[in-house]
Amino acid sequence: MRPSHPPSSLTIGSVVIDPPVVLAPMAGFTSMPFRLVCSRAGAGLVCTEMASARALCYNSTRTLELMATCPAERPVSIQLFGDSPDVIARAVPVAVQAGADLIDINMGCTVPKVVRSGSGSALLKDHSRACEIVAAAVEASGVPVTVKLRAGLRRRDGSYLELASRLVHLGVAALVLHGRTVTQGFAGQVDLQTIKHLVEAVPIPVVGNGDILKPGDAVRMVEESGCAGVMIGRGALIDPLLLGRCAAALRGDTVPERLGASSRLAIGLCLAQMLALEIGKQRAAHKIRRHLGWCTKGLPDSAALRRELFEADTLSRMAHVMTKWAATHQGLSDEAYA
């Protein structure tokens, strides 16, 4: 399972990312509590969800909240999206002040509201503006700037490679590629060849992203694309310990067993408590339900379990539901949840 040329640690500018396994930015999920869990679980770098550079220019409290970081999670990357060099130039120093070790510019988001505003994946259509935005970010930032992008607008559209080369000349320190096109959204499978082509086209580190759900997927991505590191999104929502298991597989170490379902639920409960402390019970409730939706994925009787968890109106009731579920399903091996 070990890659024949395992990546050593990944260095972006002056930031050492060891292991080269990164928690992906995910709107509504990658809060500071979840990032802390993932960093403890073995991520070498964690990312905030995308924050609107324009909202930061208006001092939006909610947007500032998204960017709050703490020393225990470092290194941390703060992701910004924006439609003009001016707003990015004003937002970047705020993100650096908030504790960013890296600034990432979003060029992959396909959410209609973001695309309509001319940000996210809309920038893959307008290379001149994409370059102006990145040049402004590099100029305004004292820390390395990275860009997260998709493999073009549609299949066989190699224009992302041309854009990437221009970004390198502007001083971007690393690129993250989700190996799907914009029109694909999340459909189909990640195309590892798109990552390989980018690795071959640029002299800076490339972090590969897409569909890593088990340690073997991380090894395969590195093996087939030659990327310097991997980024994991949905797999970490299902089980944050996947990050550490992928790190072990990339090192060629014995991969720890997958956590049992009741341990995963216990992590979900800890996260719920951390979120409640961080943003208050009322606001945490919605986020907690969304997290529990992911960490109960694939469990036996998961629909009933989720329904009971969603109905529980206190953390102790949630804990009770989880304990009851674990007692009922005690005999099942971990494989049953794979």
Ligand X SMILES: Cc1cc2nc3c(=O)[nH]c(=O)nc-3n(C[C@H](O)[C@H](O)[C@H](O)COP(=O)(O)O)c2cc1C
User: Is 86 within 8 Å of 136 (Cβ atoms)?
Assistant: yes
Q: Residue from 35, 54, 148, 197 that binds ligand X (CB under 6 A)? A: 148
Cβ proximity to ligand X, 279 vs 319, nearer residue = 279
Residue 120 beta carbon to ligand X: minimum distance, rounded to whole angstroms: 8
d(CA 277, CA 271): 10
Output DSSP code: residue 45: B
Distance CA 151, CA 290 (A): 28
Nearer to ligand X, 178 or 264 (CB): 178
Of 208 and 226, CB closest to ligand X: 208
Nearest-10 Cα torsion for 24, 25, 28, 33: 70
Neighbours of 221 (CB within 10 A): 28
**Under 8 Å between Cβ of 268 and 310:** no
Site string for ligand X, 4-33 (x = CB under 6 A): --------------------xxxxxx----
Instruction: Assess 160 for contact with ligand X (CB under 6 A).
Output: no
Q: Distance between CA 167 and CA 163 in Å, rounded?
A: 6
Cis peptide before 215 (omega within 30 of 0): no
What is the x/- site pattern for ligand X, positions 115-144, by CB under 6 A? ------------------------------
233 lines the binding site for ligand X (CB under 6 A): yes
Is 295 annotated as catalytic? no
Maximum distance among all Cα pairs of the chain, rounded to whole angstroms: 59
**Catalytic hit among 109, 227, 246, 295:** 109
**Contact between 49 and ligand X per CB under 6 A:** yes
Shortest distance, position 189 Cβ to ligand X, whole Å: 10
Angstrom distance (rounded) from CA 93 to CA 169: 22
- Binders of ligand X: how many residues, by CB under 6 A? 22
Confirm or reject binding of residue 239 to ligand X (CB under 6 A): no
Residues carrying an active site annotation = 109
Which residues of this protein are in contact with ligand X, per CB under 6 A?
24-29, 49-50, 79, 106, 108-109, 148, 178, 209-212, 232-235
